Structure 1
């Protein structure tokens, strides 16, 4: 299989990612599964899978189109190497016979026989009873009786089915209602889907809290914070136990390296907006459909650097719809399995999609919330930065059990 990439272009995107579209032709016997995009991300290679719904590559010189949702920090990096990793060849099997087709054909034959029988009975009735209600020409009248006309049957009223105009009016009313709801509140269909995802993530987050409050997690945190492979029980060891800050930093690193994209990390609470949302790992399209997403490559709460979180403003729950309402000094709380972190808003600014300076480390722990701006547009980005003012350890970082999260 030989890949001839003719063109690469930006085809859209959202908060935290850019959609890259590759077009070209593939030579060789197919079909093949869509390729994977390999992008240099510092000292490692990031593997970007194609967008869901991408068709198989037929080969034989046929053109192909493949879309990739590329994280923003990789999309704007100058000089980054990009490679295509071909997918496996797909086996072409003869389609198995579908027994449903045979059942449908048999049922069609039965219906044809029933229709023929009904038609024969109707023809016999039409011959026996003329349309004018008189005596059939070949039927002799009974002796001593006169023919009695048969009155026509009355047709019973049947409910009328809605016609095409009514259906079009109903569809138009639904479309207008959806548009009004999106402008006044948020897109209702995706909001319902995101709410169900958040409910499921809440349960996963409670299980994550329990795991990070276990004795095993406490021992592992102490070992990682002190720089040893396993916790030491030697009574002669005089080194002081690691501080809660060191434990939180070690647990944050463990959580960051073991959590897959789209899985829960913690909970975001913005009192001024009366909002609670479960934060998930990653800022790809599939992650942001579930809730606010943590930027890959930025710190987690408890680690040195900037914690970057992105979210939608009009769809999928619109967690950051009113981000522009935050003012200097407003508190923001992030509850992680290993600690609770309180930030105070420093300011808000509007930047271009390629400006990622707010996500860089600045020598202190801070938070950056980003979303598209203005509403209903991805032309710019709104960024709210907040400074860390308090960190309270919980679970294994505090040496005790994690307290239950508020419902």
Structure 2
């Protein structure tokens, strides 16, 4: 009896269709996980072997604290390596300054992956962090005047006030934790400064609170008052939203890759959505007040003809942004919509909050290990004649720090 594949196809169309689908699936699987990586320009870079078809090498990255898994891999493979993300997708990692320089100078040639933009967009909206290409250029043109040298100088009093408030609070906290180094003090005798030992103060915690206050006031004229108060509705909502960027579950990562899975509702999604509703409610109220202030101001400018692009100075970044966006000499197609403007509020917080507080914490840690630098900086500060210097009156060494 003769045998032919063609005869099977004719006699058993259902089986043949299943066989064809199986072969196609096998071909896609082999190509995705084994052949496509070999065609990639990243193939010859060092990196770990594929550990899981589902997780790639990302299981530890998902579960561990941000940066820990990457640090372990960097110790083994050097500053530039390739690992596999979810479903085996190649991921290039680099801590090489030359790579940074190239990427930053050619940023529009290296857009963020679509699923990363989706995650960022779900948290901060369509702002500078999540947009790419022409949309990013348009937003950047409107936003840049709010970060001019003059605009930043106008914000300096906010930085100074919050720095002084933070200093007082941390001094107060340190005093609470101070105690005698031994039990030799006479009864009723207070331990002098030289005989006190501090249990330590959580520097990053307090700097983080101060940064939230600074960004709120300088960014959109909202006082979180985080240094003095435990929290408020808006700060809790922002923290809930930003927590969604780390510690995601496997389902959460797969939902980012395959949007259809978002129909599977989770408690984490519900909590984040409620937080976003709170942020949007506050944001729309703040934006409405800023727009009204600009309209009121424009009545008195140039005989009521409105503001021009040169009249963009405001007492906070959002005010400057709104004024620039509402300028009468700005082409309509270049204006930002309300949702885009709102997105910049969350973008300011996400981009500036943890980054700034972490950098300042490490700077203080570095100072704690270099007493000679502490002494030089302290000597320079003691020569300042006022407790409220201007931006131009800052010490040279302090600016370097």
Normalising by the smaller structure, the TM-score range is under 0.3
TM-score (norm 1): 0.20
Higher relative helix content: 2
Larger radius of gyration: 1
Higher relative strand content: 1
